[in-house]
Structure formats: C-alpha cells, structure tokens
C-alpha cells in the first residue's frame, strides 16, 4: 500500500510549572493510504497531542510530519490551515458543531471556509447526509439533535471535502455504548468505502479491534503491541 504519512523523530514537550514534560520523544511512524489505525495509550500519554500535530493544529519541537509528500512542520501557520482544509477531516469527541448553523450548513462549512462551494461538494454533502441518516434533518439546528445525531453530522462534515486523511479523537467518548457502536460502524464504513486513511484515538478495546492496526504510545514512542503467541 502507498504510504500517506511518515513521522520522523517527532518530539513535543510541555512546561508544567518548573517541570518540562516530554509527551512525544523522537517518535517514528508510518501510515498507509486507505489504512484504519487505532492509537491507544494511558491518559496523558500523548494521543491527542499526536492528533493535533497530524492535523497541523500544533507543531512539534523537533522532527518531521510528512503527509502526502508535504512537511507540516516546515509550513507557516497559514499554510498548515490551507493544507488542513484541503487534505484533513477531523471528528472531535464533543462534536464541535456551530450552534447557529443548520445541520446542512455545518456539513458544508469546510467547503465555505476553503472557498470551494460548488455543485459537486453540494451533491457530496447530500449523499453524506443520506448515508448518516439525517437527510430529513438538514434544516434543524444542532440543539434539536441527540448526541449521536450530532456526531453523525460531525462525520459528514469531516468527509465533505473528500479528505485524504480523517482524524478522530475519542469519537465515541461522549456517547453511550450502543450509540457509540453505531457511530463507529458508520465512521468505518464511510471512510473505507471512500478509501480514506483513518487514524483514531480511543480508549475502547472493542473499537480498536476493528482497525487494521493498533498502535500504542509508550514512553513517548509510537509502538505496535507484541504479537499474540501462536497467532499467524
């Protein structure tokens, strides 16, 4: 499979009072195009930090983040913003919908911000709203929706620009298990059917099992768990 993402000696530290805590310590990693990868680790291990770096919302202290041949760490803030709008979709734990916009307007927001509104994007938004089961709720405001419905809108919004990479930070963490399972299946189905790379952070063992690969952040490194004895 073609490589989409390469992480090289990625380091990120934060100051906590007089102490500096290194969250990522020369971490390396590779992710293929079309791959579904789950990132696990204890609380505070650096999972969300890694997603923020991959999204270009933050920059590493040292190291490189190569996505589709572009080094995010070498870009200006403006360049990272433009790259993110064109290449990356994000699903947040707390939905992050704009309360003054309708369901349809929330889904189309990335295209509006990128100045890319056209008939193709509009048709894709319609398709996604049908796929997430909200075709009849397009004119509703977010406060009229349940938590699961809001996350469905967030998934459609993340995919509307047909991004190469989708990042999901605990996408079921604010939902009960039944609704969370439905959201997981929907997210996996849509990203896989459209050939997107999906990297998701999760505490859920059940969710992680459905990924193509599971990685763990341990001592600032991105590592694969040891193979199960006797596994083929």
Indicate if the pLDDT at residue 230 is higher than 70.
no
Owning domain of residue 116 = 3-223
In a domain, 63, yes or no: yes
In a domain, 232, yes or no: no
Indicate if the pLDDT at residue 231 is higher than 80.
no
pLDDT tens-digit map of 61-83? 999 999 999 999 899 999 999 99
Which CATH number goes with the domain that contains 109?
3.40.50.300
Other beta carbons less than 10 A from residue 223's beta carbon: 14
In a domain, 230, yes or no: no
Number of domains in the chain: 1
Predicted confidence band at 232 (pLDDT cuts at 50, 70, 90)? very low
Read off the pLDDT of each residue in 126-143 and give the average, rounded to a whole number: 94
Mean pLDDT of the chain: 90
Nearest C-alpha neighbor of 208 from the set 86, 31, 38: 38
Report, in this order, helix, strand and coil percent for the chain, each rounded to 5. 40, 30, 35
pLDDT tens-digit map of 141-160? 999 999 999 999 999 999 99
Q: Are 56 and 72 in contact (CB under 8 A)?
A: yes
pTM for this entry: 0.90
In a domain, 57, yes or no: yes
In a domain, 165, yes or no: yes
Q: How far apart are CA 7 and CA 77, in angstroms?
A: 19
In a domain, 138, yes or no: yes
**pLDDT in the model for residue 154:** 93
> What DSSP designation does 229 have?
T
- Structure tokens that stand for 181 in this block: 């399972």
Indicate if the pLDDT at residue 92 is higher than 90.
no
CB-neighbour burial class of residue 119 (10 A; exposed 0-12, middle 13-18, buried 19+): exposed
pLDDT tens-digit map of 188-211? 999 998 889 999 998 878 788 889
Please state whether beta strands 62-67 and 3-16 pair in parallel, antiparallel, or not at all (unpaired).
antiparallel
In a domain, 181, yes or no: yes
Q: Are 63 and 71 in contact (CB under 8 A)?
A: no
Our CA angle for 90, 93, 96, nearest 5°, is 65
In a domain, 231, yes or no: no
- Structure tokens that stand for 126 in this block: 């319609």
Indicate if the pLDDT at residue 129 is higher than 80.
yes
């Amino acid at each position: 499979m073609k490589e989409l993402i390469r992480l090289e000696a990625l380091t990120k530290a934060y100051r906590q009072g007089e102490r500096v805590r290194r969250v990522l310590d020369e971490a390396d990693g590779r992710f293929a195009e079309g791959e579904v990868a789950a990132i696990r680790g204890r609380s505070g291990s650096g999972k969300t930090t890694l997603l923020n770096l991959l999204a270009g919302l933050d920059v590493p202290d040292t190291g490189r983040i190569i996505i589709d041949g572009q080094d995010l760490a070498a870009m200006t803030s403006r360049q990272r913003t433009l790259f993110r709008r064109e290449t990356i979709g994000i699903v947040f734990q707390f939905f992050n919908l704009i309360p003054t916009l309708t369901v349809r307007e929330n889904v189309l927001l990335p295209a509006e911000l990128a100045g890319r509104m056209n008939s193709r994007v509009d048709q894709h938004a319609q398709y996604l709203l049908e796929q997430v089961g909200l075709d009849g709720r397009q004119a509703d405001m977010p406060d009229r929706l349940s938590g699961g419905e809001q996350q469905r809108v967030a998934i459609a919004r993340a995919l509307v620009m047909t991004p190469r990479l989708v990042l999901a930070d605990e996408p079921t963490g604010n939902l009960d298990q039944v609704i969370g399972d439905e959201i997981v299946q929907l997210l996996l189905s849509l990203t896989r059917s459209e050939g997107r790379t999906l990297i998701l952070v999760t505490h859920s063992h059940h969710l992680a099992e459905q990924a193509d690969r599971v990685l763990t952040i341990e001592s600032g490194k991105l590592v694969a768990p040891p193979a199960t004895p006797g596994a083929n």
